[in-house]
């Protein structure tokens, strides 16, 4: 077979100039902005504490890739846009990723795909009994770390926080453990549960799809509230979710434990009849103005079988072009502090922001759950969640007041992290030379200055 070796490549001329390319640029990286992520991580202390959530059962004298390095390599890789373990076969020779991962000897390669795969596949139990998979993780410890990072982001305890709960689908294309077909989404999937407080991710729990959307949410809320109150005993907590979480078990626990809630409530004929006068008002207003019209009402309501007590229901009687659009929410919040219209428009409707946060998880490959076991896929979900926490901290600490203060993860990665740079390692210094043509230097300088404060 003929072997081709070529030092330079001549392309079509640019007017009178020849265009010649070659591979003599030295050691280059496309992820020069990753140093801002590293500086952000130093501020929040993520990588320092994450190894405590794992148990390294390997023999130290035989270890080439330390646990801290492996975890950092995986999370920084996701944040920088590398979704697959196969990517790390090339990335392991990137000296800048070595710097981000904390590799002392930058001449030595980082962990490859096989090492990273063994980390994911370690089963639960005594790692000493395993021949190859010796680094199990503790879901409880990672859950607690996520909440600790959230609380540490606040200088002082907030007076009130709103916890958003939602379920989404993660399509599956193989035969993963606990894979089921979901009729609503019309494909095989997992049904992960997310809990956010604003931009902060507090919980990412992987679940099979053959369950109710609210399944397990009570247990998650119980542990979450207990940890939050241990540090913030006076903070008022409100749960917010759609009608999939409107379950008596969850609402009763909230009422008995000083937790408020506002949940969507699926409409039915009985509810529709209760707002007939308001619907008439909305219809008349719509006919008069030609614009969507809404009228609000509230009343105490109790189901015939499923609720243990009567609860406050707020109704939006709305008429839009060609049809009615009634909506209902049930809440423990009183009318004096939260009048009907304000409760619906200013509190409940804000839950739509959580859907944007869930979409951001896809930019960090939270849907890349292609390994065989549920436990391994949960770890992948955790890695994506921690990568989100890192980028979210960068947005909060470095980009406030900038044009990117509310930018999506994908935008931050493209404009601030994906910077071409030459990397030169000497005995005393690591030189990172950015492209002189980088378009957003002013924003980079401002972000760096903010992280130095």
- The pTM of the full predicted model, rounded to 2 decimals, is 0.94
Closest CA to 172 of 368, 373, 363, 379: 368
Residues of the chain with pLDDT under 50: none
Is the Cβ–Cβ distance between 282 and 294 less than 8 Å? yes
pLDDT of residue 171: 96
DSSP string, 218-233: HHHHHHHHHHHHHH-T
pLDDT of residue 221: 98
Is the Cβ–Cβ distance between 192 and 207 less than 8 Å? yes
Distance CA 378, CA 247 (A): 26
Are β-strands 236-241 and 200-205 bridged in parallel, bridged antiparallel, or unpaired? Answer: unpaired
Closest CA to 244 of 219, 213, 275, 223: 213
**Please, how many CA atoms are within 13 Å of residue 80, restricted to the half-sphere of its CB?**
29
- How big is the chain, counted in residues? 453
Written as six digits, the tokens of 273 are 């009849």
DSSP 354: H
pLDDT of residue 261: 98
Distance CA 91, CA 85 (A): 10
Work out whether the CA dihedral 217, 219, 222, 228 comes out positive or negative. negative
Q: Which SS3 state, helix, strand or coil, does residue 76 take? A: helix
pLDDT of residue 445: 96
Distance CA 64, CA 421 (A): 28
Helix (H) or strand (E) holding 297: strand 293-301
Give Cβ neighbours of residue 402 (< 8 Å, ≥ 6 apart): 443, 446, 447
Closest CA to 152 of 76, 73, 49: 49
Instruction: Give the angle subtended at the CA of 111 by the CAs of 108 and 115, to the nearest 5°.
Output: 145
pLDDT digits (tens, 9 = 90+) for 342-358: 999 999 999 989 999 99
pLDDT of residue 5: 67
pLDDT of residue 269: 93
The packing angle between helices 139-152 and 374-398, to 10°, is 10
Distance CA 74, CA 61 (A): 23
Instruction: Give the angle subtended at the CA of 215 by the CAs of 212 and 216, to the nearest 5°.
Output: 170
- Dmax (CA) of the chain: 85
Closest CA to 433 of 419, 451, 449, 412: 419
Distance CA 307, CA 258 (A): 19
pLDDT of residue 71: 98
């Amino acid at each position: 077979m003929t072997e081709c070796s070529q030092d330079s490549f001549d392309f079509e001329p640019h007017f009178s100039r020849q265009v010649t390319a070659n591979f003599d640029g030295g050691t280059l990286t496309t992820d020069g902005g990753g140093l801002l992520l590293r500086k952000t991580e130093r501020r929040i202390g993520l990588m320092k504490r994450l190894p405590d959530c794992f148990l390294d059962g390997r023999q130290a004298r035989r270890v080439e890739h330390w646990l801290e390095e492996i975890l950092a390599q995986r999370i920084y890789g996701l944040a920088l846009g590398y979704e697959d373990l196969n990517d790390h076969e090339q990335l392991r020779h990137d000296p800048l990723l070595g710097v981000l991962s904390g590799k002392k000897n930058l001449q030595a390669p980082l962990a490859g795909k096989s090492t990273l795969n063994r980390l994911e596949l370690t089963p639960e139990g005594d790692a000493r009994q395993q021949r190859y998979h010796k680094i199990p993780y503790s879901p409880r410890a990672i859950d607690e770390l996520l909440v600790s990072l959230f609380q540490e982001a606040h200088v002082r305890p907030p007076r009130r926080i709103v916890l958003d709960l939602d379920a989404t689908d993660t399509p599956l294309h193989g035969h993963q453990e606990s894979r089921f077909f979901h009729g609503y989404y019309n494909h095989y999937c997992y049904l992960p549960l997310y809990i956010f407080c604003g931009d902060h991710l507090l919980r990412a729990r992987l679940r099979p799809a053959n369950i109710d959307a609210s399944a397990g949410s009570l247990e998650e809320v119980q542990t979450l509230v207990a940890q939050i109150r241990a540090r913030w005993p006076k903070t008022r907590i409100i749960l917010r979710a759609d009608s999939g979480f409107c379950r008596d078990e969850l609402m009763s626990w909230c009422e008995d434990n000083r937790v408020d809630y506002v949940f969507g409530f699926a409409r039915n004929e009985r509810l529709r009849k209760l707002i007939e006068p308001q619907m008439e008002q909305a219809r008349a207003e719509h006919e008069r103005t030609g614009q969507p019209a809404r009228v609000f009402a509230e009343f105490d309501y109790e189901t015939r079988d499923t609720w243990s007590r009567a609860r406050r229901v707020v109704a939006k009687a709305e008429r839009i072009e060609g049809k009615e659009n009634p909506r209902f929410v049930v809440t423990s919040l009183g009318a004096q502090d939260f009048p009907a219209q304000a409760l619906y428009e200013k509190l409940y409707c804000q839950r739509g922001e959580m859907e944007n946060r869930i979409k951001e998880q896809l930019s960090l490959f939270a849907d890349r759950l292609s390994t065989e076991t549920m436990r391994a896929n949960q770890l992948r979900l955790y890695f994506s969640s921690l990568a989100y926490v890192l980028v979210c901290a960068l947005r909060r600490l470095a980009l406030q007041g900038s044009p990117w203060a509310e930018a999506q993860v994908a935008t931050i990665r493209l404009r601030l992290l994906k910077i071409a740079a030459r990397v030169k390692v000497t005995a005393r210094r690591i030189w990172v030379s950015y492209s002189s043509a980088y378009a957003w230097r002013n924003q980079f300088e401002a972000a760096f200055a903010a992280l130095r404060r």
